[in-house]
Amino acid sequence: MLQEGRYLPRNLYVLQSGKYEGKSMEYILLHDISSFLAMKRRLEAAIREECQPNHYHLHLMWIVAGINTLAKSTVCVECGEKAYYSPARGNYEEGYYFLSYPLCWQCAQQGEWAIAGKFHITPWDMSSLLSRADRNRLWKAQKQILKINDVSDRQFFQLLVDI
């Protein structure tokens, strides 16, 4: 389970209760980003230095680290540098159209992208001001950028194990 201080699960973490009883954390991340972000926020709020994380905590943190690793390998489609942002058309009031077009900081500030909305290519900073529908559309664009849009929870788990 812990390999040289690093948590490495042997299987999907399946929830035993709640709305997603019987579903894996990987499934929740892939299919309901709002619920996964709520789980992450509750975990972060509950973290205390004297607490020892259990398997639920370790697995959730492992998934977050895996998404971060996938994001670090994403390159800008315009210049090939490390990508940080995904552009969007629209606004908070009328909604957004999110593009699966990863951009580095410099390219995101130039040309047509200068006036576009910009969102990180990881879901951790999704604004609570976004509607649930916008969060889902943004996550769909982010999953395409991270190349996990059409994977099952088991395939996603194996991808993270292999990183």
How many CA within 13 A on the CB side of residue 142? 26
**Rounded distance between C-alpha atoms, residue 32 and residue 139, angstroms:** 9
Give the tokens for residue 55: 């398997």
pLDDT band for position 96 (cuts 50, 70, 90): confident
Amino acid at 22: G
Domain presence at residue 58: yes
Are 91 and 137 within one domain? yes
What pLDDT shows up at residue 42? 86
Are 47 and 110 within one domain? no
Residue 94 domain boundaries: 85-146
**Rounded distance between C-alpha atoms, residue 163 and residue 155, angstroms:** 13
pLDDT band for position 3 (cuts 50, 70, 90): very low
Are 97 and 58 within one domain? no
For the whole model, what pTM was predicted?
A: 0.89
Segment of 47-56, 70-79, 89-98 carrying the highest mean pLDDT:
70-79
What pLDDT shows up at residue 147? 95
What pLDDT shows up at residue 4? 47
Are 142 and 158 within one domain? no
Domain presence at residue 91: yes
pLDDT at 88 over 70: yes
Domain presence at residue 78: no
**Rounded distance between C-alpha atoms, residue 126 and residue 38, angstroms:** 11
Q: Percentage of the chain surpassing pLDDT 90?
A: 71
What pLDDT shows up at residue 2? 46
Predicted confidence (pLDDT) per residue in 24-57, tens digit = 999 999 999 999 999 998 888 877 656 777 899 9
Domain presence at residue 80: no
Are 91 and 123 within one domain? yes
Domain presence at residue 55: yes
User: 3-class DSSP state for residue 59?
Assistant: helix
Domain presence at residue 95: yes
Count structural domains, the chain: 2
What pLDDT shows up at residue 45? 80
Domain presence at residue 79: no
Amino acid at 24: S
Are 156 and 98 within one domain? no
Are 67 and 96 within one domain? no
Are 120 and 136 within one domain? yes
Are 113 and 65 within one domain? no
pLDDT band for position 66 (cuts 50, 70, 90): very high
